[in-house]
C-alpha cells in the first residue's frame, strides 16, 4: 500500500516474532487486514469534503490498488483489479495452505458460515438463502438445471444476455424440449415501462421462468427488477437475475427486488479475485430447485445444498469476506455515488460529440458504471487500440461499439482522455 493508508507487513512480522514468523496464522492475517481497513475508514472520514471529484480521499483509495501509475483500466465489467490489502491477505492464505494443507483447510472451511452471513447482510437476505459458489455461470446453471420443467414450457430472457445466462437456458431447452424466447426492446430504452411492457407482451400460459441480467452486460441498462418480479409472480412465474454487474456497483436489496434467484461473482465490480461467487435462492422456492453438484446423501437444509464441491480453493473463498469488508470500509453508498457520477459524466459529454452514439440510457435510474459507446465509421477495435496506445487506457474491443466500465478507482481525468479520443476519432484527426 501507499501513502497514509499503509500498513507494513514487515513491521507486523517484527511484532509477532521476526523472521521466524514468516508464516502467519489466519488470526494474524485477519488482524493485519483489519488494520488496513481501519486506516481506509479513517481516510474516508477525513475526506468527506472532497465529494466526488478527484484528489483527496479518492486519490487515497486509488493508492490501494496495484494499477500502474498513469494506466486507466476501464474493463471492470470483465475482470476487476484486486486491492492490495485483499491481495496480500489472499497471498498469506495460500501460504497457509502450502505449509499445512489439511488442517488449515479445516480452519478455512469453518469460516464459511461467517462469510455466508456477511454476504446475506450485504444483499439484504437470510443466510439460509445464500450459497458460496465459484462464479455467476455456476449460479445461473444451478438455477436453470435445478428446475423440473416440462417439454413445451417457456423461458423468457432478454435479447441482450451474456452467454452465461443465454446459452445455459438454450442448451437445457434443446436437451429437454423447452422454448427460450428472447424479449426485445429499443437500445437504449426510453423508460423502464418499455421493458416491462415488452416482457408482459411475451408472457403466455406456458411461461414458467423470466431470467434476465441486471444491468445488461452489453449496455449497462438497468431493468425494473422489482416490477418484473411482481409481474412474474402475478402469473405464477419464477424470476431469476444474472447479477454479475450489480453487486459492488450499486446498493440494492434482494428482498426489496423480490426475485426468486440471483447469481453473482466477486471478480467484477466487487474487485475481488476470480474463483468465488454468490447464489441466492429464495427460501420458499428451494424445494423446487435441485442441486446439480455435490457429495450429499442427505443434502443440508437451505442454500448450502448448492455448494457441495468437495475440495475447493479455500484462500479464494476466504478472500470473498475480505473483498466485502474492503468495499464496506470504502463505503458502499460512496462507491455507488462515485461510480454513477463518473458514468454520467462520460455519457453526458460523449453525447455532445458529433458522430458519437451512446447506447446506454441517460436516465440515472437506468444506468450507473457501464457505458456503451460507438463512433460512426470507427470500429470498436480501432477505438480500443487508439485508447491503449495514445492514452494508456484499456477497454475491451470489437464490433461497432465499446463498453466502458468506470468504477470508483477511475478518475475524471481518465474520462476526459477518453472524451478527447472520441473527438479526435470522430473528426478523423488520427
Give the pLDDT band (50/70/90) at residue 371. Answer: very high
For the chain, counts of helices (H) and of strands (E): 15, 12
* Fold classified for 108-325: 3.40.640
Q: Which among 355, 347, 351 has a CA at the least distance from the CA of 405?
A: 347
For range 323-327, the mean pLDDT: 97
Q: What is the pLDDT of residues 95-106, one digit of tens each?
A: 999 999 999 999
List, edge to edge, every strand of the sheet that includes 277-281: 130-133, 277-281, 261-265, 238-242, 207-213, 154-158, 179-183
| Res. 20: pLDDT tops 90 | no
| Res. 230: pLDDT tops 60 | yes
How much is the pTM?
0.92
Q: Does 334-426 match 108-325 at the fold level?
A: no
Q: What is the pLDDT of residues 173-193, one digit of tens each?
A: 999 999 999 999 999 999 999
Which residues make Cβ contacts (< 8 Å) with residue 278, sequence separation at least 6? Answer: 119, 123, 130, 131, 132, 133, 139, 247, 262, 263, 264, 265, 266, 320
Pairing of strands 393-394, 356-358: unpaired
Domain boundaries 334-426, corresponding CATH code: 3.90.1150.10
Residue 6 or 155, more confident: 155
| Res. 3: pLDDT tops 80 | no
Give the pLDDT band (50/70/90) at residue 323. Answer: very high
Q: Are 269 and 252 in contact (CB under 8 A)?
A: no
Separation CA 416–CA 229 (nearest Å):
39
pLDDT above 90 covers a percentage of the chain that reads 83
| Res. 131: pLDDT tops 70 | yes
Q: What is the mean pLDDT of the chain?
A: 91
Give the pLDDT band (50/70/90) at residue 13. Answer: very low
Q: Which among 86, 6, 107, 124 has a CA at the least distance from the CA of 321?
A: 86
The domain locations on the chain are: 108-325, 334-426
Identify the three-state secondary structure at position 370.
strand
Q: Which among 68, 35, 79, 86 has a CA at the least distance from the CA of 327?
A: 86
State the DSSP code for 297.
S
Give the pLDDT band (50/70/90) at residue 52. Answer: low
| Res. 23: pLDDT tops 80 | no
Give the pLDDT band (50/70/90) at residue 249. Answer: very high
Q: Are 405 and 77 in contact (CB under 8 A)?
A: yes
Q: Which among 235, 237, 273, 240 has a CA at the least distance from the CA of 257?
A: 240
| The pLDDT value given to residue 4 | 38
Amino acid at each position: 500500500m501507499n501513502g497514509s493508508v499503509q500498513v507494513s507487513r514487515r513491521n507486523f512480522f517484527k511484532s509477532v516474532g521476526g523472521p521466524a514468523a514468516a508464516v502467519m496464522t489466519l488470526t494474524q492475517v485477519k488482524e493485519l487486514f483489519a488494520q488496513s481497513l481501519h486506516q481506509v475508514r479513517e481516510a474516508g472520514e477525513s475526506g468527506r469534503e472532497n465529494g466526488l471529484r478527484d484528489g483527496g480521499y479518492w486519490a487515497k483509495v486509488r493508492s490501494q490498488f496495484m494499477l500502474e501509475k498513469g494506466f486507466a483500466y476501464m474493463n471492470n465489467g470483465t475482470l476487476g483489479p484486486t486491492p492490495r490489502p485483499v491481495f496480500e491477505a489472499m497471498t498469506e492464505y495460500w501460504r497457509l495452505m502450502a505449509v499445512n494443507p489439511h488442517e488449515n483447510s479445516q480452519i478455512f472451511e469453518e469460516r464459511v458460515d461467517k462469510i455466508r452471513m456477511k454476504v446475506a447482510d450485504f444483499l439484504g437476505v437470510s443466510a439460509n438463502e445464500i450459497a458460496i459458489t465459484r462464479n455467476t455461470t455456476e449460479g445461473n446453471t444451478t438455477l436453470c438445471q435445478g428446475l423440473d420443467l416440462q417439454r413445451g414450457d417457456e423461458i423468457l430472457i432478454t435479447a441482450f444476455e451474456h452467454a452465461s445466462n443465454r446459452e445455459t437456458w438454450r442448451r437445457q431447452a434443446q436437451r429437454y424440449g423447452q422454448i427460450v424466447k428472447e424479449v426485445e426492446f429499443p437500445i437504449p430504452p426510453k423508460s423502464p415501462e418499455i421493458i416491462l411492457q415488452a416482457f408482459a407482451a411475451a408472457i403466455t400460459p406456458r411461461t414458467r421462468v423470466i431470467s434476465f441480467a441486471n444491468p445488461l452486460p452489453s449496455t449497462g441498462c438497468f431493468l425494473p427488477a422489482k416490477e418484473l418480479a411482481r409481474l412474474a409472480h402475478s402469473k405464477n412465474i419464477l424470476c431469476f437475475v444474472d447479477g454479475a454487474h450489480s453487486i459492488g456497483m450499486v446498493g440494492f436489496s434482494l428482498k426489496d427486488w423480490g426475485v426468486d434467484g440471483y447469481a453473482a461473482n466477486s471478480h467484477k465490480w466487487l474487485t475481488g479475485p476470480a474463483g468465488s461467487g454468490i447464489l441466492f435462492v429464495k427460501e420458499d422456492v428451494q424445494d423446487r430447485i435441485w442441486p446439480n453438484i455435490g457429495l450429499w446423501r442427505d443434502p443440508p437444509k437451505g442454500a448450502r445444498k448448492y455448494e457441495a464441491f468437495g475440495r475447493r480453493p479455500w484462500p479464494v473463498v476466504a478472500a470473498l469476506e475480505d473483498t466485502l469488508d474492503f468495499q464496506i470500509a470504502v463505503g458502499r453508498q460512496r462507491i455507488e455515488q462515485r461510480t454513477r457520477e463518473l458514468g454520467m459524466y462520460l455519457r453526458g459529454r460523449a453525447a455532445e460529440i458529433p458522430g458519437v452514439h451512446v447506447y446506454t440510457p441517460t436516465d440515472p435510474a437506468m444506468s450507473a458504471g457501464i457505458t456503451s459507446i460507438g463512433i460512426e465509421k470507427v470500429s470498436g477495435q480501432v477505438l480500443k487500440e487508439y485508447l491503449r496506445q495514445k492514452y494508456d487506457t484499456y477497454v475491451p474491443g470489437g464490433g461497432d461499439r465499446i463498453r466502458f466500465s468506470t468504477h470508483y478507482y477511475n478518475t475524471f481525468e481518465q474520462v476526459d482522455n477518453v472524451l478527447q479520443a472520441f473527438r479526435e476519432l470522430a473528426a478523423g484527426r488520427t
